[in-house]
Amino acid sequence: MFNKLLKTIGLVPERPTLPPEDRPMPSHRLAPLDVTDADFAEVVLNSDKLAIVDFWADWCEPCRVMSAYVGFLATEYDGRVLTSALDVDENPTTSEQYAIMGLPTLVFLRDGVEIDRIVGVMNYQELKQKVEHWLTVH
């Protein structure tokens, strides 16, 4: 989802015209893991880290904003937080299990248990504060 979002909003760089040795090194950017109904339990519920699941859909414009923020979190909290994205249209079972009624929805889990959720758009600084809070609360 994150790479699709970057392409949609025009942040995917054009093909380089410089020879490889003269090209600047790309910045380190990680993307959230795409999860499905089939691997949600294995990847998310069994994680030993704070897990954030971005429930999104292609047709949801506000989802693009929150998905970008989750992508930023993936890079900023690499190794400390598991960030993932689940397309609700393609994965109805998990969406129903978590009673996803509005999009975008971010669900925070620790040890496979939901500890918080955000429905709708929140600014990035507030989102980071929420992540910091859950990283310090055990």
Indicate the range of 23-32, 112-121, 129-138 predicted with least confidence: 23-32
Q: To which residue do tokens 């949600």 refer?
A: 40
- Nearest Cα neighbor of 32 from 51, 48, 12 is 51
- Class in CATH terms, 2-7+27-131: alpha beta
Quote the CA–CA distance of 69 and 64 in Å, as a whole number.
9
Q: Above pLDDT 90, what percent of the chain?
A: 78
Average pLDDT over residues 22-50: 85
> Exactly one of 63, 82, 86, 103 is catalytic; which is it?
63
| Annotation marks residue 60 as catalytic | yes
Which residue out of 6, 30, 43, 60 is catalytically annotated?
Answer: 60
Greater model confidence, 47 or 4: 47
Mean pLDDT of 107-115: 98
Range in 16-30, 92-106, 123-137 with the lowest mean pLDDT: 16-30
- Is there a catalytic annotation at residue 123? no
Count of positions (residues) in the chain: 138
Q: Report CA Rg, the chain.
A: 16
Contact 51, 44 (CB under 8 A): yes
Q: Which of 27-36, 46-55, 68-77, 83-92 has the lowest mean pLDDT?
A: 27-36
